[in-house]
Structure 1
């Protein structure tokens, strides 16, 4: 399937008839967020066991406009109206980072499963409380690190784990966006709402580094921020460069490191600053006997490449499906499925009591938030503020 065909089909997915046994998981969306169509609404269209039934926003007019534009049956005013809706089984929470904790706790208290945008919370302690309540209520919470559900990221990890290239020594992970696409007044640049580059693209890098190594970092060796507007927001990083150190395994002399670079607004360059920089969404894993690089790990369904150099020579793999093993194990997927569609399938499987192909545990989420906290502490900016909400 070509890049044009995949792109078209993923943005215009076929409409699947909804299942009756079991009935579909009915989703309510908190807020008229820009990410919701690609992260949930379009994926749900092709999923027989998922249905978006309602969206709630602070403004009823905004909710109605969003619902009409995206084909959602019902619009309501306020987030509480979504949580109290008896026809909602699960909530999608794409609110600003600083509101994740409050509204996820309220959703769990209301008996709803939660698909929670990343980063899960402002602090690791908040994440711990969310998963403690989810366990108590026997409900599902999934932090939406969608890239992990795609075959390409899993193939990268499989190559590393195979031992083909030897032990991991160094990871270089980068996630940057050109300047101008995120406006200066964006919520990502507001400390009170849990903003900062490390909380947005940076949390992908901590996640990917931990995913590839299968370890938790024991220290942050360095963390250097570049401010968005130091006078107005002295604790907000537009860019962060940081290095994680991971513990050594028994057979290793020293553990691997991860050099990470995230930037929400990379400056333009060239004559008069008229040339925009290309986005960089890559991870390179250097090992004892070679290396492997995955390009475009955030949106691999459109295009990507896994370039491997080792004792057997060099090759490039492109992985848009599960292959023979996946077929034999009954893993669901199509070459045009986005990372979000794979993620939705896993979430639905978990809610329906099945074993998903891949999962991100509560321990994993807490570990990632702990890593983000460590980066901010090392940088001198301090962790993001905890929510004032008390259950």
Structure 2
């Protein structure tokens, strides 16, 4: 494990191909090294070429620290560079909409940090830009990195969405990492725990049910209550009803305890009758499945998938149990070979971060090669609709819409 983690953060450098995709980064954000710079090091078709920030000195320090060759005076300077093929946007949430549109109109591919935009109104506009539907047009991907990791796909393979009755998801960040005056709690920058962290929970819920929520039943939030941050949630607990009648819960906090708890998704299926010809005609076999994924956010460090199948042989006449037993097994998948199934031959290394798996798929799509997993534009629109549902129910209101046209 130690070797895997060390290699993930210090991967071997690859020989770059002549047609490698050259990225420009808008903003010297702290997430950029993890999301792109480190994954790019081991990818032969990705070069991080340039960075710009509102403060050029900050961009220069960032470039020196992470080995980025070029520093530009402005975001627009990067978009205007014909040698830049793709743009990574890790800016504050409120700026995603404007700069993603500007980049797409400049003919650049875009890897866009989550959440893609501030609300579903912006999502409808962004992901339905005419440029995106043109042949050989720009590629746009919302960077839900965890959905690209083999463990997440293996986890989903144990779930029957139609039979799911309840899902619990939780995630947190220790309070030491999020000061009150950070962008996480700035309403004008589209901050809030739902936007910054809970959106991962929502995406997991949608993936488990393979459907969109019909209603947000409740959304309880906490705020600082100081008159300055009163529209930004520090944590929340939301409950949704899905079309099959199942309930999905999401709990997240940006002010969690110092002792970090790994993110978790727990899935309960309804009782289902399992055919068993060895039983008398008066009896039936019933299965209840529980599946849990521990650490759905940073699975490359550590994760575990627990599958618990509870069986009962019961009388058809009165439901009286005749025999009960439980079968439990734990799984892991740091590669798709370990995950097995239809993507078992998909290349990759055990030390690849979820960000590296994501970059692999992004490059494949840009190069016109098959992609095994993707977050479609409609998926991203639906994701923001769920975020809007929660904020509307909470009483805090939707995050503000950009005036950019």
Q: What TM-score, normalized to structure 2?
A: 0.88
Residue 253 of structure 2 is aligned to residue 257 of structure 1:
no
Q: CA deviation at 1:230?
A: 4.4
- Report the equivalent of 2:268: 286
Residue 26 of structure 2 is aligned to residue 26 of structure 1:
no
Give matches, 1:258-273, under 5 Å: 258-266=248-256, 268=257
- Report the equivalent of 2:232: 236
- Report the equivalent of 1:17: 15
Q: CA deviation at 1:232?
A: 1.0
Residue 76 of structure 2 is aligned to residue 77 of structure 1:
no
Residues in 1 aligned to 2:72 and 2:43: alpha-carbon distance in whole angstroms: 24
- Report the equivalent of 2:132: 135
Aligned length: 369
Q: What TM-score, normalized to structure 1?
A: 0.91
Contact 1:59 1:78 in 2 (8 A): no
User: Which of 341, 344, 357 is the matching residue for 1:342?
Assistant: 357
SS of equivalent to 2:176: coil
Residues in 1 aligned to 2:218 and 2:262: alpha-carbon distance in whole angstroms: 21
Residue 209 of structure 2 is aligned to residue 213 of structure 1:
yes
Contact 2:337 2:344 in 1 (8 A): no
Residues in 2 aligned to 1:328 and 1:235: alpha-carbon distance in whole angstroms: 44
Q: Which runs of 5+ in 2 are unaligned?
A: 271-287, 311-325
- Report the equivalent of 2:273: none
Residues in 1 aligned to 2:172 and 2:17: alpha-carbon distance in whole angstroms: 40
Please give the per-residue CA displacement for 1:205-257, whole angstroms capped at 9, x wherever unaligned: 11100011100000000001100344112211001100011002xxxxxx211
Higher Rg of the two aligned structures: 2
Contact 2:337 2:345 in 1 (8 A): no
CA-atom RMSD in angstroms: 1.5
Give matches, 1:52-67, under 5 Å: 52-67=48-63
Residues in 1 aligned to 2:84 and 2:183: alpha-carbon distance in whole angstroms: 28
- Report the equivalent of 1:155: 154
Residues in 1 aligned to 2:72 and 2:228: alpha-carbon distance in whole angstroms: 35
- Residues 12, 327 of structure 1: CA spacing in aligned structure 2 closer, same or farther, 3 A cutoff? farther
- Report the equivalent of 1:223: 219
Q: Write out the 4+ residue segments of structure 1 that deviate beyond 3 Å after TM superposition.
A: 324-330
SS of equivalent to 1:106: helix
Q: CA deviation at 1:142?
A: 0.3
Q: CA deviation at 1:326?
A: 6.8
Q: Which runs of 5+ in 1 are unaligned?
A: 249-254, 269-275
Residues in 2 aligned to 1:144 and 1:279: alpha-carbon distance in whole angstroms: 23
SS of equivalent to 2:177: coil
Give matches, 1:1-391, under 5 Å: 3-20=1-18, 23-133=19-129, 134-136=131-133, 138-161=137-160, 167-248=163-244, 255-266=245-256, 268=257, 276-288=258-270, 289-311=288-310, 313-323=327-337, 325=340, 330-390=345-405
Residues in 1 aligned to 2:226 and 2:251: alpha-carbon distance in whole angstroms: 19
Residues in 1 aligned to 2:342 and 2:166: alpha-carbon distance in whole angstroms: 33
Residues in 1 aligned to 2:343 and 2:266: alpha-carbon distance in whole angstroms: 30
Q: CA deviation at 1:327?
A: 8.9
